Amino acid sequence: MAKFKTDFETEREPNQMRHVEVEIDFTPNALASILYRQGDTVILVCCTKESRLPGWFPRDSTKGWVHAEYSLLPGSTDSRFRRERRGAKGRTQEIERLIARSLRAAVDLEALGPISLNIDCDVLNADGGTRCASITAANIALRLAVRRMIAQGICLPIDLRPTDEERKSGWTAPKLSEAERKNHENDVIPHDLAALSVGLIDGDVYLDLDYILDSNADVDMNVVKTSDGKYVEIQGTGEESTFSKEELSALLSQADAGLEALFEAQVAILDGIE
The residues, ordered by sequence, that sit 6+ positions from 252 with a Cβ below 8 Å of its Cβ are 198, 223, 234
pLDDT of residue 167: 84
pLDDT band for position 8 (cuts 50, 70, 90): low
Cα 198 from Cα 101, distance rounded (Å) = 21
More confident: 30 or 75: 30
Would residue 14 count as lying in a domain?
yes
pTM: 0.92
Total count of domains within the chain: 1
Would residue 26 count as lying in a domain?
yes
Cα 240 from Cα 258, distance rounded (Å) = 26
Would residue 234 count as lying in a domain?
no
pLDDT of residue 115: 97
pLDDT band for position 125 (cuts 50, 70, 90): very high
Q: Mean of the pLDDT values across residues 41-60?
A: 94
Please state, in angstroms and as integers, the Cα–Cα distance from residue 157 to each residue in 74, 186, 274, following that order. 42, 11, 19
Residue 231 burial class via C-beta count within 10 angstroms: exposed 0-12, middle 13-18, buried 19 and up: middle
What CATH number corresponds to the domain at position 175?
3.30.230.70
Would residue 226 count as lying in a domain?
no
Q: Tell me: the pLDDT tens digits for 251-271? A: 999 999 999 999 999 999 999
Q: Mean of the pLDDT values across residues 197-219?
A: 95
pLDDT of residue 136: 98
Q: What domain range includes position 76?
A: 3-191
Would residue 241 count as lying in a domain?
no
Q: Mean of the pLDDT values across residues 67-77?
A: 86
Cα 270 from Cα 36, distance rounded (Å) = 13
Q: Tell me: the pLDDT tens digits for 133-144? A: 999 999 999 999
Q: Of 6, 2, 5, nearest to 258 (Cα)?
A: 6
Cα 35 from Cα 27, distance rounded (Å) = 9
Would residue 201 count as lying in a domain?
no
CB 70 within 8 A of CB 99: yes
Cα 162 from Cα 250, distance rounded (Å) = 51
Please name the amino acid found at residue 127.
D
Q: Mean of the pLDDT values across residues 154-183?
A: 93
Report the mean per-residue pLDDT for the chain.
93
Would residue 28 count as lying in a domain?
yes
Would residue 224 count as lying in a domain?
no
pLDDT band for position 83 (cuts 50, 70, 90): confident
